[in-house]
Structure 1
Amino acid sequence: MAGVDMDPEVALGLFEEGATLVLLGVPEGTELGLDYKSWGVGPRFRGVKMIPPGIHFLHYSSVNSKSCGGEVGPRKGLFLSLKPRELVLAHWDKQEEDLDFSATENLEEVARVRAGLRELDPYLGPYPYDTLRKWVSLTDKLNQEVAQALQPLSGRVCAFSDVIPELQLTHTKDRAQQNLPRNDTECQNMKEGLDRLPKMKQREGTELRFSEIPKHMYPPGATPAQITQCSMDFSYALNCLLESHYKDQPLNVLGELQFAFVCFLIGNVYEAFEHWKSLLALLCKSEDAIKDRKDLYLGLISVLYHQLGEVPPDFYVDIVSQNNFLTSTLQDFFQFACAPGVDATLRKRAEKFKAHLTKKFRWDFDADLEDCAPVVVELPEGVTLD
């Protein structure tokens, strides 16, 4: 880990007041990072010092031995909420290829490590303060409560899902009852083989616990007219989500939007990107909510400003711009946010943000998009539009 040039007095203050991660036994070559930066672990590495208090994302990828080609494993990570002068202690578990933080609960061991911090200092890499501003801009709405609620029960955010078969079929007789082949030669082609593979499910406790976006965008017993209205204005569904998950603090939904974005951008979790898209669409297409929830949408503009400013350029080409998702979603938002009846401060902020995106990315939010087709609505059973 490379050092950070800073004033000696500032460095001393950060050493005294900043939090410290002591990570013992991490194999040389492991890719390890904190927040927006990552490094290759060297032989002297024992952790990270001078960490500013607040939310942080520790992430790492184990590396196989050279005899196995030195391949890098999937990225794992966890969100930590650190206090001033806090010391968090972890040991590397060789069998699990993961960090074990149970040592932090051993008060005697933590006290012993704390007493020897001065001697340990040369082996601790400094927090990368050159990226702190970026990190804060991506997580300023995310607090410990929200991060803890969204993080898997296993405590790890994993780039690849840990999946197991839905049915544990250990005997040939069991497989035959499920129409599964006893060997590869029974499949006539690849499609048949794929169709006959056992169905998989994510291992319990490893899934991200995102808020559930309502499957029905309209209230029970809705009339056809109400269904059509709710299919154009998602405010009902948004209010249901906020009532279910963020009743007392609706602005925390922006923390979830940031959590999902970080999990995708830094944690490499594609599922998190899909949730980010769904949650963003729900927020941007809620016309009445935009009129009623000024603070929420002022915050949304700030969140999106920083998120869209930090992603790699090819991100838009390869992922976000598929099917005009981002431009069409933001087009709806600007149409609603810049309309009469919206709070003047929010309207001006939205107009300024629209001009910024138009200039920076050359997106035209005033053009007719191909996606603006008639909405197909789902009717309750037995209801017709006759």
Structure 2
Amino acid sequence: MDPQLAKRLFEKGAIFILLDVPVGTEFGIDYNSWEVGPNFKGVKMIPPGIHFVYYSSVSNTHDVAPRTGFFYNFQPSEMIIRKWDKYNEDMLGDSVSAEEQERMESSKKELDRYLGAYPYESYKKWISLTSNLRPQFLDKLLPLNRKICSVTEFISEKSTSQSRSEAKKSRGDVKTDDTPDEQRLPNMAITPGTEIRFTLIPKQTYPVGASPEEVTRYSMDHSFVLESLLKTGYEVEMTDILGELQFAFICFLIGQVYDAFEQWKKLVRLLCMCDEAMAKHPELYAQFISTIHYQIQEIPEDFFVDIVSQNNFLVSVLHTFFENLESSTTLPTLKEKGQKFRTHLQKRFNWDFTADPDEDCPVVVE
């Protein structure tokens, strides 16, 4: 690293302190993860801005727990201190007193040898994956408890003997030894405050009271849905839809959240299925091409083959996207950028966007 850059990051970079974390715990920030050693106390020289911190406890038999993480918007020279809760095998939030915070901030130089440096060589990659993720919109998406958990948290719904008996009567439900196992399970609900608050994408693609012609047109061109969302879900900044696309991508690729993968697919499909909106919002679509380009670059090859391309999802929706772009009345500069993107994908993955999708191939159904 350039000495001047290192000096600037040491002075202006943020510090994340994690105390009492067990040896062997998996700890990471952005695209970088480590196995915690006996002297580990955190990470220094973190560039200001939004970052994703995550961790997994590891048992004595080397079994790794599900990943938990959180987004945090680090300020210049900020020091964040967290402690490890050994009982719950989790990170405690705001568990440090003001006196302890002040004491540790005054002893930065002594702490320095226990802190790992943020791998700055991967920072440009991280910036390309979060370029449209605004802190204000991030707060809108995060769960109320602000944790991103790879495994959904459930609680058993409260019930009494009387309520269970009444429920059985209303269903005509008398359980016997032959009753399927799933019917014997208690009623479960997602723990309040743990759900990621993704933007709801309407399934109906045409306006209420639409004429038959409009129903046909907007069933093929999803511009009505996109325009509606830009006025309601993304009304402050139009590019927040790309911010959510980036948020979902990070949550599923690094946070290992499957629901985020589903939201990512929905947003990609929506943006690719628009024709009118492409001509109306060329700058949004220029940024969309950049966003999806950087995301595809970062998907591990085996992950890409096994999951992202299942049912030809990306090939199918990008085929539609390039067709819409070619026939659109949008700016020539956007068409040129789209052509370069298509050429890149054809060369790297040997995808053919000139032929119509095989009729026998699986079709993505919403």
Distance 1:168 1:357, change over 3 A: same
Contact 1:214 / 1:240 at 8 angstroms: preserved in 2? no
Contact 1:179 / 1:196 at 8 angstroms: preserved in 2? no
Q: CA deviation at 1:372?
A: 9.6
2:47 alignment partner, one of 43, 52, 58: 52
1:39 alignment partner, one of 23, 34, 48: 34
Cα deviation, 1:271-295, whole Å, max 9, x if unaligned, reads 0000000011111101111110011
Contact 1:149 / 1:209 at 8 angstroms: preserved in 2? yes
Distance 2:317 2:359 in 1: 10
Distance 1:317 1:368 in 2: 21
Cα deviation, 1:179-235, whole Å, max 9, x if unaligned, reads 49xxxx94437xx22244334321110000111101321111222322221110111
What residue in structure 2 maps to residue 102 of structure 1?
A: 94
SS in 2 for 1:58: strand
Cα deviation, 1:96-116, whole Å, max 9, x if unaligned, reads 322223146x44332211101
Distance 2:359 2:164 in 1: 45
What residue in structure 2 maps to residue 369 of structure 1?
A: 357
1:320 alignment partner, one of 276, 298, 308: 308
Q: Amino acid of the residue matched to residue 144 of structure 1?
A: P
Q: CA deviation at 1:130?
A: 2.4
Identity of aligned residues (%): 47
Deviates further, 250-259 or 332-341: 332-341
1:148 alignment partner, one of 136, 139, 156: 139
What residue in structure 2 maps to residue 3 of structure 1?
A: none
What are the within-5 Å matches in structure 2 for residues 1-386 of structure 1?
6-64=1-59, 66=60, 69-103=61-95, 106-165=97-156, 167-169=157-159, 171=161, 174-179=163-168, 186-188=176-178, 192-370=180-358
Q: CA deviation at 1:353?
A: 0.5
Q: Amino acid of the residue matched to residue 273 of structure 1?
A: F
Distance 2:224 2:186 in 1: 38
Q: CA deviation at 1:263?
A: 0.3
Distance 1:188 1:265 in 2: 41
Q: CA deviation at 1:169?
A: 3.2
Structure 1: runs of 5+ lacking an equivalent: 1-5, 379-386
Contact 2:275 / 2:328 at 8 angstroms: preserved in 1? no
Q: CA deviation at 1:135?
A: 1.2
Q: Amino acid of the residue matched to residue 267 of structure 2?
A: L
Contact 1:260 / 1:272 at 8 angstroms: preserved in 2? yes
Distance 1:252 1:199, change over 3 A: same
Q: CA deviation at 1:344?
A: 0.6
Contact 1:254 / 1:300 at 8 angstroms: preserved in 2? yes
Q: CA deviation at 1:93?
A: 1.9
Distance 2:249 2:224 in 1: 24
Structure 2: runs of 5+ lacking an equivalent: 170-174
Distance 1:116 1:75, change over 3 A: same
Distance 1:47 1:110 in 2: 14
Distance 2:5 2:206 in 1: 56
Alignment TM-score, normalising by the size of structure 2 = 0.92
Q: CA deviation at 1:11?
A: 2.6
Contact 2:49 / 2:75 at 8 angstroms: preserved in 1? yes
Contact 1:324 / 1:371 at 8 angstroms: preserved in 2? no
SS in 2 for 1:102: coil
Q: CA deviation at 1:10?
A: 3.6
Distance 1:371 1:346, change over 3 A: farther
Deviates further, 287-296 or 215-224: 215-224
Deviates further, 338-347 or 288-297: 338-347
Contact 1:24 / 1:91 at 8 angstroms: preserved in 2? yes
SS in 1 for 2:94: helix
Distance 1:55 1:206 in 2: 20
SS in 1 for 2:327: coil
Distance 2:39 2:28 in 1: 16
Distance 1:58 1:369, change over 3 A: same
SS in 1 for 2:103: helix
Alignment TM-score, normalising by the size of structure 1 = 0.87
